[in-house]
Amino acid sequence: MSRRMERINALLRQEISSIVASDLNDPRLASMITITRVDTDSDLSRAKVFVSIMGHPDQKRRALKGLKSASGFVKKSLRPRLTLRSVPEVEFHIDDSIERGVNMLRLIDEAMAENSPVEPDADTLVGENGAPDA
């Protein structure tokens, strides 16, 4: 990906985050929504916006539906904020990488807790020369 596309994706991510946080008044968007990534086509015709939505699966579906229905408003709100010749169509997609990461950390913590060293018994202590201490 070119440096220009990286800058455009970062700018879109920042501006869309601002619009979602402050300008959308949809009750379906009550859960915590984070814009994780934006992938824009090279011709700037379409931007895939990946969002992480915290909550139950039903809340996620409702929030995604709300975001998809607001995509026209988001595009219209982007126009004055950007200095691009054309503003891409905005498509929202679920990104569950944050939740998978949290789950992976939880599993690692559980595995570490199971494999934590157990305090040795007095019978199993070994001295410096390899013989049991008495």
The band of 73, judged by pLDDT with boundaries at 50, 70 and 90, is very high
Residue 28: what are its φ and ψ, rounded to 5°? -70, -15
| Residues linked to residue 49 through DSSP beta bridges, in sequence order | 38, 92
Question: What pTM did the predictor assign?
Answer: 0.74
Query: Is the pLDDT score of 121 beyond 70?
Result: no
Statement: residue 118 has pLDDT above 70: no
pLDDT, residue 3, reads 94
Confidence of residue 31 (pLDDT cuts 50, 70, 90): confident
Q: What is the pLDDT of residue 64?
A: 93
The domain segmentation of the chain, as residue ranges, is 3-98
Q: What is the mean pLDDT of residues 13-35?
A: 89
Q: Judge whether residue 122 has pLDDT over 80.
A: no
Amino acid at 18: S
Calculate the average pLDDT of the chain.
Answer: 87
Which CATH number applies to 3-98?
3.30.300.20
Strand order in 46-53's β-sheet? 33-40, 46-53, 89-94
